[in-house]
Structure 1
Amino acid sequence: MPARSTSNVARKIFLIATEESGDRLGANLMKVLRQRLGGAVRFEGVGGQSMAREGLVSLFPIEELSIIGLAAVARQLPKILRLIRQTSRAVTQASPDILVIIDSPDFTHRVARRVRARDPSIPIVDYVSPSVWAWRPGRARAMCRYVDHVLALLPFEPEEYRRLHGPPCSYVGHPLTEQTGTLRPNADEQKRRDEAPPVLLVLPGSRRSEIRHHMAVFGETLGRLRDEGVAFELILPTMPHLLEAVSEGLKSWTVTPRVVIGEQEKRAAFRIARAAFAKSGTVTLELALAGVPMVTAYRTGAIEAWILIRAINVKSVILANLVVGENVVPEFLQDDCTPEKLIPALRDLLEDSPSRRRQVEAFAGIDNIMSTGNQPPGVRAADIVLETLRKARGSN
Structure 2
Amino acid sequence: MHGRSEHITRKIFLIATEESGDRLGAALMKVLRQRLGDAVQFAGVGGRMMAHEGLTSLFPIEELSIVGLAAVVKQLPKILQLIRRTTDAVIDAAPDVLVIIDSPDFTHRVARRVRARNPGIPIVDYVSPSVWAWRPGRARAMLGYVDHVLALLPFEPEEYRKLRGPPCSYVGHPLTEQFASLRPNAEEAARRDTQPPVLLVLPGSRRSEIRHHLALFGETLAQLRANGVVFEPVLPTMPHLEATIREGVQGWPVKPQIVVGESEKRAAFRIAHAAFAKSGTVTLELALSGVPMVTAYRVGAAEAFILRRAIRVPSVILANLVLGNDVIPEFLQENATPEKLSQALGEVLGDSALRRRQIEAFATLDAIMSTGNQPPSVRAADIVLATMRNGRQTK
Write the distance in 2 (CA, Å) between the matches of 1:132 and 1:234.
36
Write the distance in 1 (CA, Å) between the matches of 2:306 and 2:73.
16
* 1:347 aligned onto 2:346: yes
- Look up the match of 2:257: 258
Number of residue pairs the alignment of both structures matches? 390
- Look up the match of 2:154: 155
- Look up the match of 1:128: 127
Write the distance in 1 (CA, Å) between the matches of 2:392 and 2:231.
60
- Look up the match of 1:389: 388
- Look up the match of 2:100: 101
- Look up the match of 1:358: 357
Q: Which runs of 5 or more structure 1 residues have no equivalent in the other structure?
A: none
- Look up the match of 1:30: 29
3-state SS of 1:126 partner: strand
Amino acid in structure 1 at the alignment position of 2:29: M
Write the distance in 1 (CA, Å) between the matches of 2:336 and 2:248.
17
Write the distance in 1 (CA, Å) between the matches of 2:5 and 2:104.
29
* 1:331 aligned onto 2:325: no
The verdict on how the C-alpha distance between 1:31 and 1:105 changes in structure 2, with shifts beyond 3 A counting, is same
Instruction: Report if the CA contact (8 A) 1:202-1:276 is conserved.
Output: yes
3-state SS of 2:359 partner: helix
Write the distance in 2 (CA, Å) between the matches of 1:102 and 1:27.
11
Write the distance in 1 (CA, Å) between the matches of 2:51 and 2:241.
24
* 1:289 aligned onto 2:303: no
3-state SS of 1:132 partner: coil
Amino acid in structure 1 at the alignment position of 2:41: R
Instruction: Report if the CA contact (8 A) 1:97-1:123 is conserved.
Output: yes
Shift of 1:209: 1.2
3-state SS of 1:110 partner: helix
- Look up the match of 1:235: 234
- Look up the match of 2:6: 7
- Look up the match of 2:204: 205
Amino acid in structure 1 at the alignment position of 2:147: D
Amino acid in structure 1 at the alignment position of 2:240: H
Instruction: Report if the CA contact (8 A) 1:70-1:304 is conserved.
Output: no
Shift of 1:92: 0.5
Write the distance in 2 (CA, Å) between the matches of 1:153 and 1:309.
25
Instruction: Report if the CA contact (8 A) 2:237-2:259 is conserved.
Output: yes
- Look up the match of 1:174: 173
Shift of 1:28: 0.3
Instruction: Report if the CA contact (8 A) 1:238-1:266 is conserved.
Output: yes
* 1:245 aligned onto 2:282: no
Write the distance in 2 (CA, Å) between the matches of 1:348 and 1:198.
13
TM-score, normalised via structure 1 length: 0.97
Cα deviation digits, residues 154-196 of structure 1 (max 9, x gap): 0000000000000000000000001011101111111000111
- Look up the match of 1:303: 302
Amino acid in structure 2 at the alignment position of 1:275: A
Instruction: Report if the CA contact (8 A) 1:200-1:273 is conserved.
Output: yes
- Look up the match of 2:109: 110
Shift of 1:6: 5.9
Write the distance in 1 (CA, Å) between the matches of 2:38 and 2:180.
31
Percentage of pairs with the same residue? 76
Write the distance in 1 (CA, Å) between the matches of 2:283 and 2:124.
27
Shift of 1:213: 1.1
Write the distance in 2 (CA, Å) between the matches of 1:67 and 1:222.
32
Identify the range of structure 1 (171-180 vs 219-228) with the bigger mean alpha-carbon deviation.
Answer: 219-228
* 1:379 aligned onto 2:378: yes
Shift of 1:355: 0.6
Write the distance in 2 (CA, Å) between the matches of 1:241 and 1:347.
31
Shift of 1:9: 2.3
Instruction: Report if the CA contact (8 A) 1:201-1:273 is conserved.
Output: yes
Write the distance in 1 (CA, Å) between the matches of 2:378 and 2:94.
25
Instruction: Report if the CA contact (8 A) 2:223-2:339 is conserved.
Output: no
Write the distance in 1 (CA, Å) between the matches of 2:343 and 2:66.
36
Write the distance in 2 (CA, Å) between the matches of 1:180 and 1:108.
30
* 1:74 aligned onto 2:88: no
Shift of 1:72: 2.1
Instruction: Report if the CA contact (8 A) 1:17-1:47 is conserved.
Output: yes
Identify the range of structure 1 (168-177 vs 207-216) with the bigger mean alpha-carbon deviation.
Answer: 207-216
Cα deviation digits, residues 241-271 of structure 1 (max 9, x gap): 1101111211121111111111111110000
* 1:184 aligned onto 2:183: yes
- Look up the match of 1:145: 144
Cα deviation digits, residues 24-52 of structure 1 (max 9, x gap): 00000000000011232111111111111
Amino acid in structure 2 at the alignment position of 1:174: H
Cα deviation digits, residues 263-296 of structure 1 (max 9, x gap): 1111100000010001111100000000001111
Q: Which runs of 5 or more structure 2 residues have no equivalent in the other structure?
A: none
Instruction: Report if the CA contact (8 A) 1:212-1:245 is conserved.
Output: no
Identify the range of structure 1 (167-176 vs 55-64) with the bigger mean alpha-carbon deviation.
Answer: 55-64
Cα deviation digits, residues 44-91 of structure 1 (max 9, x gap): 111111111111111111111112222222222111111111111111
Amino acid in structure 2 at the alignment position of 1:15: L
Write the distance in 1 (CA, Å) between the matches of 2:382 and 2:89.
25
Shift of 1:299: 1.2
Write the distance in 2 (CA, Å) between the matches of 1:338 and 1:69.
25
3-state SS of 2:391 partner: helix
Write the distance in 2 (CA, Å) between the matches of 1:252 and 1:82.
44
The verdict on how the C-alpha distance between 1:393 and 1:306 changes in structure 2, with shifts beyond 3 A counting, is closer
Instruction: Report if the CA contact (8 A) 1:12-1:43 is conserved.
Output: yes
Amino acid in structure 2 at the alignment position of 1:256: K
Write the distance in 1 (CA, Å) between the matches of 2:297 and 2:57.
34
* 1:278 aligned onto 2:293: no
Identify the range of structure 1 (7-16 vs 286-295) with the bigger mean alpha-carbon deviation.
Answer: 7-16
3-state SS of 1:57 partner: coil
Write the distance in 2 (CA, Å) between the matches of 1:336 and 1:32.
46
